[in-house]
Structure 1
């Protein structure tokens, strides 16, 4: 009886204790936009100018807890979502029908789709990366491919050429793994480790140049830096400290219980524009990369309203739009005023006016008004909540605090008594699935 009570408590707390940041993803051709907040997937089809409701005709379970990771495939034909409910769902973006539902043994913290759309990978909070093939007509099971021993994987990306998979964790590490031809048998060849962050690594992105198709790797983390890597040999090329640039104290001067981190980073396909979200900055920072000199510099800041601190970014190079979202799941009812059942998000878009050159310094960022955004009012009605201005400011302040606390909690290893650990072991979900 005691074990069943603990089991119920643990399963409930796993999904409800921590707030999850709102996420945004944009189709590679900007034909659709997805916002994930809580267990909701909000989709707007920009091509057809209409809201879309993803459906699962296969009868699989819907997301029932916070979605922690979303991603489009390189060609935009697939979309994957996963999170605290230990479910990974793969969607066909042409119809927004679910084509696969995968049961994970642990909560999922990162997802990615291979460059050829043949595989979906997802990482759990125990530090294991799983893979499932999409090449077979018959249903296949996910199998482990690699792992960061007992360390939460915070970000996972395939290189543009499909040869490598980069994984980052809360213990300061970035691992570059050779993606094998027969991936279902495991990825055993480590290309390099990118070591240099002094706190958890929160986000990764690859950038390419016309002269170098292999490109470079960018990372951001809890040490309030963005770092440029030659990932083929793990060499740290440059470190850009954002503390002074964002008007924030250096990470070493911030109190331990009030740290500021880089929460998201995205880049144009050629690396000419790099956008960074910082946990305490109400706006977006734009970096420029000099690939010949292998340096980074902060060239512009795009300030937004005081209460708006982006939780996720998405950049579509061909359309010159940087999409941002702010919001969080699991806010208390008082944070949402009379709309207790509604999860509030706010979408802001930065547009860049192209001039004579293609680097970030030659772009004039313009923060679009709501009437100017692609999709207009229809899109905002689908992706955002609808609260009055006064309530919005209070809710966004609560969202910023909730996301900060959630990020801090995720990066701290929980401590349990010996008795509690034994009870958790006997009621682990991976044992239930295997039995």
Structure 2
């Protein structure tokens, strides 16, 4: 029975589908797409594809990448995922300078505002810190090991963000919690001071974003999740300022009041949020003086396109999105296909309160053009691509629905799984 459980668990892992991710350099210098174990990088400023090199002495990614991100000034980039590797890249040269081994699979990653630390979260709810320069006591950390700094009590951490001033690290989990933690001067000693909790979601929290208008330098926190809402927070006090419940406003509820098939979880953010039941994106207006959110515009796309990740720089000329998954076992192909789309004209006109000009750019109009798409997307013949895109859309809907939903097990099954745990077998 125990062997059957192990085989079942392994086959289940092999069938997991990881969504493609996209990240944009804070100064629009480069675009990165992660799909499966692959990192695809294009130099937007230099208008050329980038080849990565690894000087860290560690292995390359061998399983699905689950988290990527630039530091605030774009001098550091981190990638991590199911292979329990956290890799640190220098975007100026795109060399990997450090590879750190995590104890569990990684679910989120972030770079501190000063670029001196990378933090990541694992599937057991622990958040770890890596020192990129000297350690907290003026010494380099031994063997490049990560140090645990805070925990979410066995709940998967879904998102990590640093506040605009770097004083706080914000962590969200699939059990509806958002924790605001003071990021200490010596994080390798632990981050023990909790500033506040932002409690208000009724389903998993999937994404976080900060908005920092000129009149409010401390900034505001926005969060989205599986309850089909986006919340606006005064994160220092943990006070909920406003909730935007999409529902019928965005056409995601049927006329009889029931939710449309496919669910309506917010899956990614950049102060702009995406609904996985909608073939497109939803743009929001935020009135900071009134502390309110409202829907500005719904940008729809073709039925076969369901975005899995959004990317936005600090110079928001364009909103980038990607659709793709790590594997589709039923297709029997090893090629990893992703599709990039770019929205322009989504900024709000200062003389108007609404966004009217947001449009999907043509392939030849986006920065980098066809050469960028060739690097970031992967290629298939026309017939194979049509079949793959349709299968990808179906896989995206399933994976986004199952990604953060807690599985329910009977007492008997839980006891059997405990007896078949790999770590317990090693101890025996």
Q: TM-score, normalised by structure 2?
A: 0.90
1:219-298 matches, within 5 Å, as: 219-249=223-253, 253-254=258-259, 258-267=262-271, 275-298=272-295
Q: 1:271 maps to what in 2?
A: none
Q: Residue 92 of structure 1: which of 90, 93, 97 is its match?
A: 90
Question: 1:185 deviation in Å?
Answer: 1.0
Partner residue of 1:146 out of 142, 147, 150? 150
For this pair of structures, how many residues does the alignment match?
417
Change (3 A) 1:284 1:180: same
Aligned-pair CA distance for 1:405? 2.7
Describe the shift of the 1:6–1:260 C-alpha distance in structure 2 as closer, same or farther (beyond 3 A): same
**Which residue in 1 is equivalent to 2:35?**
37
| CA RMSD, Structure 1 to Structure 2 (Å) | 2.6
The corresponding residue for 2:137 is none
The residue matched to 1:370 in structure 2 has which SS? coil
Q: Is the 8 A contact 1:15 1:84 kept in 2?
A: no
Q: Would you say the 8 A contact 2:30–2:41 is kept in 1?
A: yes
SS at 1:302 equivalent = strand
Find the counterpart in structure 2 of residue 167 from structure 1. Answer: 171
Change (3 A) 1:358 1:414: farther
* Residue equivalent to 1:115: 113
**Residue 385 of structure 2 corresponds to residue 380 of structure 1:** no
SS of match in other structure, 1:316: coil
Aligned residue among 325, 328, 353 for 1:328:
325
Matched, 1:19 2:17: yes
Residue 6 of structure 1 deviates from its aligned partner by 7.3
The residue number in structure 2 matching 1:407 is 400
1:76 aligns with 2:74: yes
Shift of the 172–422 alpha-carbon distance from structure 1 to 2, 3 Å rule, reads: same
> What is the CA distance between 1:167 and its match in structure 2?
0.6
Aligned counterparts of 1:164 and 1:355: Cα–Cα separation in 2: 29
- Rounded Cα–Cα distance in structure 2 between residues aligned with 1:200 and 1:307: 26
Question: Which residue is 1:270 aligned to?
Answer: none
| Matched residue, 2:205 | 201
Pick closer, same or farther for the CA change 1:206–1:128 going to 2, 3 Å: same
List 4+ stretches of structure 1 deviating above 4 A. Answer: 2-10, 12-15, 353-356, 388-391
**How much does 1:368 deviate?**
0.8
Q: Cα distance, 1:399 vs. partner?
A: 2.1
- Rounded to whole Å, the distance in 2 between the matches of 1:407 and 1:25 is 19
1:379 Cα offset (Å): 0.5
**For residues 120 and 15 of structure 1, do their structure 2 counterparts lie closer, same or farther at Cα, with a shift above 3 Å needed?**
farther
Whole-angstrom distance in 2 between the partners of 1:409 and 1:427: 27
Aligned to 1:310: 307
Instruction: Provide the residue aligned with 2:335 in structure 1.
Output: 342
Q: CA deviation at 1:400?
A: 3.0
Residues 75-123 of structure 1: CA deviation (Å, up to 9, x unaligned) = 1011100111111101011111111111111110000000000110000
Q: Is the 8 A contact 1:3 1:427 kept in 2?
A: no
Q: Which of the residues 410, 419, 423 maps onto 1:422?
A: 419
User: What is the aligned partner in structure 1 of residue 354 from structure 2?
Assistant: 361
Q: For 2:64, which of 63, 66, 77 is the aligned residue?
A: 66
SS of the counterpart of 1:296? strand
Relative to structure 1, is the Cα distance of residues 381 and 189 closer, same or farther in structure 2, using a 3 angstrom cutoff?
same
Q: 1:420 to 1:319 in 2, by over 3 A?
A: closer
Task: Name structure 2 gaps, 5 residues minimum.
Answer: 135-139
The Cα shift of 1:141 comes to 1.6
Distance of 1:355 and 1:160 partners within structure 2 = 22
SS at match of 1:160: coil
**Equivalents in 2 of 1:159, 1:359: separation in Å?**
29
